[in-house]
Amino acid sequence: MKAVLFLFIVLLSFSSCSKKEYNDGWFDIEKNYVDIPQKKYDYGNPRDKSNDKTNSNDTSKIDMNNIIEIKERMFINQCNDVYLNPDDYRGKLIKLEGIYDGFTDEETGEKLNFVFRYGPGCCGYDGVAGFEFNYNGKIPNPQDWIEVVGVVEILDIDNYETVRLNAISLNVLDKRGKEFVAN
């Protein structure tokens, strides 16, 4: 129930209709980028491996031939299924494409990375769907179109479970898919 409540709060925060927020850095028309607001992802304490309920760094136990691919046609539905049923996906590989963005939490210095696509919200396509991911390699530029393959890990942050991908590969792609998806 807590995971569902957390997911609802996160999705609600992404689908704000406030013009002030939209014009206050969320989307900069001149620079043509999305700047994910820090307040939306301020989890308080830095995330460390002690909060990780999945030993996803051990790739010897991961079936590298059994990758769950999240495609454009059912992008939002598949992402939501992972958030709503995290235990069904724990330790499994997920592959998806989307827009890259990230930020550094000023309080903790932690870098948070996201792969996402735009989806329906309360005011058109002002919602987003996707995942936070952890990656130790070279980080792409904001708005790059990326492909991430990562292991699903479940984190306990301030007594709420959330999902993050522990990326084992990240590729910047030249060909972009649909930035705006409906399901």
* pLDDT on residue 110: 86
CATH class in words for 2-172: mainly beta
* Beta strands at 67-70 and 93-104: parallel, antiparallel or unpaired: parallel
Domain locations in the chain as residue ranges: 2-172
Cβ atoms of 43 and 157 closer than 8 Å:
yes
> What are the tens digits of pLDDT across the range 58-72?
444 566 678 999 999
Coil/strand/helix, residue 115: strand
Coil/strand/helix, residue 51: helix
Rounded to whole angstroms, the Cα distance separating 105 from 116 reads: 19
Rounded to whole angstroms, the Cα distance separating 13 from 145 reads: 23
Confidence of residue 130 (pLDDT cuts 50, 70, 90): very high
Confidence of residue 47 (pLDDT cuts 50, 70, 90): very low
* pLDDT on residue 158: 84
